[in-house]
Structure formats: C-alpha cells, structure tokens
Amino acid sequence: MFNKIVAFVVLACLPAISVLFVGCADEESYTPQISGVVSGLHHSSGYSSSYSANKSRTTYSSNSYKSQSSYRSGSSSAYGWVPSRASERRWKAIVIHNSATGSGNMATIDAAHRNNGWDGVGYDFVIGNGTGSSNGQIEPTFRWTGQKTGAHCKTPSNWANESAIGICLIGNFNNTRPTAAQMAALTKLVRFLSNRYGIPASKIYGHKDVPGHITATDCPGRNFSMSSLKAGL
C-alpha cells in the first residue's frame, strides 16, 4: 500500500517538475548578463500569410506578462517585429533553439526562466507548435521589444547574448520534427531579420553550432535541419 501511495505522489508531481526545465537543459545553471523588464508585444493570432490587423489585450499565465499591442497588415508591415528606432541594436547573428518540451508558449518559458532566478524568458522570439499557442504563432518577447541582452546562449565573452537574436521553437526535436507551420513562420521571421540587419547565412546558427559555445547541447535537436532552413531563405 505504501509503494502505491509513493508511486501516485510521484506521478502527480511530474507535470510540476517538468515545467522547471523548459528550454535548453544545459543552460539551466547559467546566470545571464541581463537588465530591465519592459512590456512585451504579443501576436495574438496564428501565423498566416496575411497577418490580419488586430488590437489585442493579452494576460499571460505568468504574472509578469501583461501587454496591449496593435499590429498592422500589408506588405510594408513587420507584424510587430520592428523595435523602437531609439533602442534598436545592430544584430550580428541569429541562433535557433528548441524548447526541449512537447508543449508550451512564451508564458510557460517565461515562468520557467523566472524560476531559475532570471528576469524573464531568455529568447527574443518564441514560435508555437499548437499546444500552448497557435501552430506557427510568433511571439516577440520583452527582450526583443526592449532590445535587451539575451539569455539563451552561453559563450565566454557573452557575444551570442549581446549580438545574436535568439529564436526558440516549441518542441523537442530529438524526438519529433518542427511542424510545417513552425518552419514557415521561422523562415519568414529569419528572412526578415537577416535582411534588416544584413546577417548572412553563415551567421545563422543552431544553438549547438554557435562559435565559442562552451556547454554540450543537442539544441535545436537532431531532427532540425539548419540546411533546409537556410535553403528556404
């Protein structure tokens, strides 16, 4: 009877335990060089080629995420991806990650990273797989809208956090592949960012391939094809 009770308690606690490890597992002990929290933008509709105009007020499950944002549609619109000119950085690279979880969204990653003692989600963008947000939905985080130093890739000089844009796709790509909608959204986003900042394909990395990265990782996963991404740009 005692063994049955212990087994029940362990199974009941697994979901709560798992949320603490959202993101690249090898970065859990990293203390990022970050500062400041600003209100973030949130793309409240799923990914589509039209990006219909909307105004939305969104309250995330993480208490720190409360934002009101408007987005424009049309060929000249960047769908909320253009930061303020006053704070915009000259980004030099892009780093692709997977969350190493089967489900989630920006709010769940934000909560998990705060549990690590950080000031919020470490990535600049999060792309959903249909489990915690729409399939292919791109969520800009407070780091991007405020042009804050990232907390997504550990290097001795911190160059990747200072100069590289971190994009995280929800999913564990050691076990599965990104959805077609995720890849379409990622391609569109990376194309926009690389064109805006003059980032060549040689500076678009999977996390595990970042020069100077000092922690062993499979991120963004064995089933994620960087060559396919770059071929579609």
Residues 68 and 219: their CA atoms lie apart, in Å, by 32
Classified as helix, coil or strand, 219 is coil
Architecture label for domain 2-23+38-231: 3-Layer(aba) Sandwich (3.40)
Sign of the dihedral defined by the CA atoms of residues 99, 102, 107, 113, in that order = negative
Q: Where are the alpha helices (DSSP H) in the chain?
A: 2-18, 106-115, 142-145, 159-163, 180-197, 226-231
Classified as helix, coil or strand, 14 is helix
Low-confidence ranges of the chain (pLDDT < 50): 2, 4-21, 25-77
pLDDT in tens, 113-162: 999 999 999 999 999 999 999 999 999 999 999 999 999 999 999 999 99
Q: pTM, whole model, 2 decimals? A: 0.72
Residues 77 and 64: their CA atoms lie apart, in Å, by 28
Neighbours of 75 (CB within 10 A): 4
pLDDT in tens, 206-215: 999 999 988 8
Q: Nearest-CA neighbor of 88 among 74, 97, 78?
A: 78
Q: Where are the domains of the chain?
A: 2-23+38-231
